[in-house]
Amino acid sequence: MANSKLIVVEGPQGAGKTTVTDFIRHGLKYTNLYRLCGTADSTPTGKQKAKDMYFDLLEYIKKMENKSINLLFDRTFFTEEIYSRLKFKEYDFSDIYEKLLDEFSKLDFDIYYINLYLSDTNLYKTRLERSGKAITEYAKFNIESSIHQQEQYLKMANELSKKYNTIKVFNVSNDTDEEALKHKIKEILNF
C-alpha cells in the first residue's frame, strides 16, 4: 500500500466539510484539495454526465498513485449516490456507484472516508441560518434535507465499513468545539 493518502470527506449540508477539509489541507503536508459539487442536471442525461465525470476522476487519481502527494476531496461520487437515494435526481445511480466504488477501493493509496454528522440535529438550524436573520423557508428545507442526508450518509458509511477493508471509514460527530474536532481529525489521519 502506498504511503500517500486519499481522503474523502462527506456529509450533509451544514456538517462542517469546508472547515474540516481546509484544516486537513493546511495541516497535512503535500495535500491537494478538490471541492466537487457534481452536476446540477438531475435528468437521465445528467446521469451520463456524472458517470463520465467520475470515471474520468478515477483515471486522474490513478495517475496520481505513487506521486508522494495526498489527495483530499470535499464530496465525490458518494454524494451523487446519496442524492439519487433521496430522489433529488430523476435517476438511480446505484449501478454506476457500485462500479466506481469497486475501482475506488482498489486504488493504491491509504484510503480514508470521513463522514461528518451532527449528533444534535438542532445544530443544523444554527449552521444553515444566514447572518443571524430569522430562519427562512429555504433554510427550513435545508435543515430537513440535511437531516435526511445525514441518515443516508451514516447508512452508507456502515455499508462501506462492512464491504471494503481497504477503505478506512470514520463517522465523526462535529458537535464538539473546533479544537476537539481538529484533534480527532489529526488522530484519524496521523499528522
120-179 pLDDT, tens digit per residue, is 998 888 887 754 554 444 444 578 889 999 999 999 999 999 999 999 999 999 998 899
For cell 476537539, the residue is: 180
- Is pLDDT above 90 for 15? yes
The cell numbers describing 125, all together, are 438550524
Backbone phi and psi for residue 40, each to the nearest 5 degrees, phi listed first: -80, -10
Domain architecture of the chain: domains with CATH:
5-189 (3.40.50.300)
Number of neighbouring beta carbons within 10 Å of residue 46: 18
pLDDT over 70 for what percent of the chain? 93
Sign of torsion over alpha carbons 159, 52, 73, 164: positive
Q: In what order do the strands lie in the sheet with 31-35?
A: 31-35, 70-74, 5-10, 110-117, 167-173
Residue 44 is classified by DSSP as H
